[in-house]
Structure 1
Amino acid sequence: MTHTPFRSFFLSGALTALILSSAAPAAPAPRVRISSIDQLQQPLPLPYNEKADADRAFAAAKGRAKARGKTLLVDLGGNWCGDCRVLAGIMNVPEVKAFLARHYEVVTIDVGRMDKNQQIPRRYGIEKLAGVPALLVIDPRTDRLINKDRIFALSDARHMTPQALADWLAQWV
């Protein structure tokens, strides 16, 4: 069968449309060696620097993510929050930590008791945090919020399994 230029254009255009409409597959989640948050190293981490310049930390992390071809993960929370500390504990489990290092540039932003650093989520149309931890998954090349409808999915981290938390993190890369 002979292809006319039009037919070749149509076929390549259809293939391009198919490729562009398909979501990129998520990276396989790391297999977490612990099965319960009770197995996390104690005391749980205090992941948020309450004195950090949030705008500067955010901009630096976004720049590193863009330069390294990684996704930006913004963890908004407070050291008073048990769920935030559980999430930080899971993120420190060696296999999860290695996965995050490969795929994400992570920045933690202290939001106090929802009264600090609200300018960060506002950049993405979030006027008020409904809970913490709140995670923003951002494409640093386009500055697009990827997980718009799932920002507060881990705000009940203490009632999730370590594997469920790792699976959630893996779905965005």
Structure 2
Amino acid sequence: MKRFLAIAALALLVSAGALAKEPAPYNPQADAKAQVAQVLAEARANHKPVLLFFGANWCEDCRALAHDLAAGRNAQLMDAHFNIAKIDVGNFDHNLDVVNRFGNPIAKGIPAAVIVSPDGKLLYSTRAGELSEARSMSADGVYDFFQKAIQRVQSAG
């Protein structure tokens, strides 16, 4: 049992270290309104919806989700279906005007995500904190989550 606990603790430290070495996914100095305007312009040009992530660099779940979306089939899914922007929310006190514009998806935790049409219409939101424990999701679980969100948006449109 002690050996198992030691191995589990080592694995946790290694994985936490790997996440800590990755670049911070959110830019606290970014102009969130300009980010949204730019990604909406891209969406109008390429006719793909916008996926906005709301989070912060201190948030382990936000970093874990960013990590899972950055490679493999998750990255391919994101590239194929979305124009993406990451909006920093600080300690739930930053860019709240942008958060509220999209229905306050961070109310139940971060990371949060919304899918928006190229004309700015809200199509989908994680209002119930669906991603707030992203670190416990596998890469396959993240893929399945976003695949289902895509299907919901496509069936509604």
Q: TM-score range by the shorter chain?
A: 0.7 to 0.9
**Alpha-carbon deviation of 1:150?**
4.5
Gaps of 5+ in 2: 1-14, 151-157
CA change 1:95–1:63 in 2 (3 A) is: same
Higher relative contact order (CA 8 A, sep 6+): 1
| d(CA) in 2 for partners of 1:159, 1:128 | 18
- 8 Å CA contact 1:135–1:151 kept in 2: the answer is no
Are the structure 2 counterparts of residues 127 and 157 from structure 1 closer, same or farther at C-alpha, using a change threshold of 3 Å? closer
When normalised by structure 2's length, the TM-score is: 0.77
Q: Would you say the 8 A contact 1:78–1:84 is kept in 2?
A: yes
3-state secondary structure, aligned to 1:146? strand
Q: In structure 2, what is the equivalent of residue 105 of structure 1?
A: 83
Structure with bigger gyration radius = 1
Tell me, yes or no, if structure 1 residue 125 matches structure 2 residue 92: no
Alignment size in residue pairs: 135
Question: What SS does structure 1 have at the residue aligned with 2:64?
Answer: helix
Could you say which residue in structure 2 is the equivalent of 1:68?
46
Identity of aligned residues (%): 31
Query: Deviations for 1:82-139, whole angstroms, at most 9, x for unmatched residues?
Result: 0000000001113211221111001001100000001112112328632110101111
Greater share of helix: 2
Name the Cα RMSD after superposition: 2.2
Shift in CA distance, 151/51, structure 1 to aligned 2, threshold 3 Å: farther
- Stretches of structure 1 that go unaligned for 5 or more consecutive residues are 1-37
